[in-house]
Amino acid sequence: MSGVAIVDYGINNVRSVKNAVEYCGFDPVVTHDADAIADASHVILPGVGAFGDAMINIRARGIDEILERQVREKGKPFLAVCLGMQLLANTSEEHADDGVAHRGLGWFDADVQRLMPNDPALKIPHMGWNMVAKERNHPILANIRESNLAFYFVHSFAMRCRDAGDVVGFAQYGQPVTAIIARDNIAATQFHPEKSQDTGIELMSNFLRWNP
């Protein structure tokens, strides 16, 4: 196996994720090729941009089917980042101007909704460092002190899960913000671990050594 596949669906910024994986001592491949993803031991789905555009590209390249086989059927360890995490939801209201929500991969019973903090002084997008409070332990957080769970966020929308058991951690930004979700071999973060300095690198390293 080649190690780590970073999924490239054409509009996601993969460079910072690739750099972080290399810093952890791995040699990742950036790809949307089915064989390369099948050959990898771990898969990462980064995310930057709009939900609808991302899903169009993912479906056009057949990446949804590749991930279904490798992650959901074969149980390969999988980490989704920022928009990548949102793509795991049923739907997103981002740019759903005609009232019809965009359809996601539907791996989690959740919808993506615009952030609406109860403090008008808080700006959207939510950009910057924020503490994450654990709801439960998870291997990607192994050996990270709760006092060090500060990560870098950039987003205007967030996932709302119907199953509380899927949520590993919340941030607070004038409302509870789902920050980490996980189930079986799948984990995802709303924040960018690859931009979260030492703690983010530790989380990435935990994921890359995770064998669920």
For residue 148, the SS3 value is: helix
Active site residue 192: yes
**Which amino acid is present at 63?**
I
Active site residue 82: yes
- In the set 42, 126, 192, 202, the catalytic residue is 192
Catalytic residue, from 42, 82, 126, 155: name it.
82
Active-site residue, from 32, 126, 138, 194: 194
Quote the strand ranges of the chain, DSSP E: 4-7, 29-31, 42-45, 78-81, 91-92, 102-103, 110-114, 126-131, 133-134, 150-155, 157-161, 167-172, 176-183, 186-189
Does 155 qualify as catalytic in the annotation?
A: no
Closest CA to 160 of 85, 98, 211, 59: 85
Q: Annotated active-site positions, please?
A: 82, 192, 194
